[in-house]
Amino acid sequence: MSENGICKITVKTRYFGKLRELLGTRTETHIVEKGATVADLLLDHIPNKHLSVSKIWKETLFRTLKGEHLQEKNGTPVLKNYLVIINGKSAKLKDCLKEGDEITIMPPFGGG
């Protein structure tokens, strides 16, 4: 897909537990720039689609210190103990998204 000369791709996100409750949806689609990463999705696209809870979303997923996001040496934000799965396989924040990817964001487990 192309919009203003920028190549776009469509990905699907799935939420469970407290994230499903926070966003009020189980699944949704996002149109992102080709080359966008998991970090871009979690820090920009998802919170921008849910502006009323964007602050809570970021504080829920990422480690902060005095209101600022902690970052790795390479500038990548630090995810709390949440898991990101792309098409059934474990993913990292720096991983690039591809057309049709299904990204599942999972809070810490609580079964039993």
Partner 1 sequence: MKKLKIGIKQNLDSLGSLIQELKKSSNEIGAITIFVGVVRGIRENEKVVRLEYDAHEALASQIIEKIINEQKTKHGIIDVVVEHRTGLVMVGEDVMYVLVASKHRREGRQALSEIVDRIKFEVPIWKKEITEKDSYWVENV
13's torsion region: left (phi>0), alpha (psi -120 to 50) or beta?
Answer: beta
Unique residue bearing structure tokens 């079964």:
111
Cα–Cα dist 3/20, whole Å: 30
Using CA atoms, how far apart are residues 108 and 95, in angstroms rounded to an integer?
21
Nearest distance in Å: CB 11, partner 1 = 17
Three-class SS state of 9: strand
Chain mean position to CA 76 = 13
Looking at 18, 55, 63, 92, which residue binds partner 1 (CB under 8 A)?
Answer: 18
**Which of 28, 58, 77, 85 is close enough to bind partner 1 by CB under 8 A?**
85
Which stretch, 30-38, 42-50, 66-74, 100-108, contacts partner 1 (CB under 8 A)?
100-108
Q: Taking CB under 8 A as the rule, does residue 17 contact partner 1?
A: yes
Q: Does 112 bind partner 1 (CB under 8 A)?
A: yes
Give the Cα separation of 86 and 9 in Å (integer).
Answer: 15
Give the nearer residue to partner 1 in terms of CB position, either 22 or 96: 22
Q: Tell me: does residue 53 bind partner 1 (CB under 8 A).
A: no
Sites of contact with partner 1 (CB under 8 A): 14, 16-18, 20-21, 81, 85, 88, 104, 106-112
